[in-house]
Structure 1
C-alpha cells in the first residue's frame, strides 16, 4: 500500500500556542476529550491550507479523483500524528495515545481505520475518527468497542 502524496507542514509558534491553550482548563478526561476534538479540528484546518486538503469532504466523497480528498487511512494517520504531538507537548494528562485500529474486514463491513487514545484512569480506549466529517470539523471520539461494532454518526 502506498499513498498518492506525502506532504510536510509546520505550525507557527502562535498557532501552536493557541492549540495548547485549549488544554489549560481540562479538569477531567471528558474535558480533555473535548479539547482534543477542537485541537484536531484546528490542526486539520491549519495543515489543510498548507498541503491542499482544506476542501477535504466528509467520508470518501471523491469526484473525478479530487485533489486533497483524504480516505480513512490518511485521516487516521494524520490524527495519530496530531495526538502524538499533543502528548509530546505534555498537554494530555488524562489520556495516552495508542495505535491506529481497523475494523470491517472480519465483521463483514467495509474496511475502516481510526486513530485511538486511552483514558489513563479507566483504561477505556477511544476511537478518534475525523473521516466522518469535512476538513476542520471536530472528530468523533467514541468508545472503541462501540466504534468497532460498526458505529457511524447519523447522516445529516
Structure 2
C-alpha cells in the first residue's frame, strides 16, 4: 500500500490504511474490538480505550512503519494534546511532512473499532 505513495498526501492515505490494518491484526490477540469511538459508548467493555491509549498505539504503529522504511515523506513525532474547553483534554499521534515541516495528526479515537483513523493538519485538529 506504500509503493504507490509518491506524494505526501498519498502516503498519509496509506498511513491511515496501515494503522487500520494494524489495529485489526492486534484485535486477534487483545479484546480491543470492543472499543467504541470517544470515551463513553463502550461503557466498561473489556478492551475499551481512551485517547491516551489510542495516541500511544497509533504512535507505536507509526514508529513500526517508519522502522520498516515505509515512510518516505513523513517522520513520526511525539503525541500532541489539546484542551479547547479546559476540561476536554485530548491526545493524538503526530507525523511531520518532511518537505514542508507541516505537522499532521493521526487520530483513531473518534470512531468505533475498525474504522480508518483521521489524518488531518495539526492546526485543524488543534481547533477541535
* TM category, shorter: over 0.9
Matched, 1:127 2:127: no
Quick check: 1:43–1:136 contact (8 Å CA) kept in 2?
A: no
Q: After the TM superposition, list the runs of 4 or more consecutive aligned residues in structure 1 that deviate by more than 6 angstroms.
A: none
Question: In the alignment, which of 87, 92, 111 is matched to residue 114 of structure 1?
Answer: 92
Q: CA deviation at 1:62?
A: 3.2
Native 8 Å contact 1:44 1:136 kept in 2: yes
Higher Cα Rg, which structure:
1
Find out whether 1:86 has 2:84 as its counterpart: no
Q: How does 1:49-88 map to 2 (within 5 A)?
A: 49-60=28-39, 61-63=41-43, 65-88=44-67
3-state DSSP of counterpart to 1:141: strand
Q: Which residue of 2 aligns with 1:104?
A: 83
- What is the TM-score normalised by the length of structure 1? 0.78
Q: Is 1:31 the equivalent of 2:24? A: no
Kindly indicate whether the alpha-carbon contact (under 8 Å) linking 1:48 and 1:135 is maintained by their aligned counterparts in 2: no
SS at match of 1:53: helix
Q: Which residue, out of 107, 122, 126, partners 1:144? A: 122
Q: Secondary structure at the match of 2:53?
A: helix
Q: Which has the higher contact order (CA 8 A, sep 6+)?
A: 2
- Note if contact 2:34-2:45 (Cα within 8 Å) is conserved in structure 1: no
Q: State how 1:37-52 maps to structure 2 within 5 Å.
A: 37-52=16-31
5+ residue gaps, structure 1, are 1-21, 151-156
Q: How does 1:17-28 map to 2 (within 5 A)?
A: 22-28=1-7
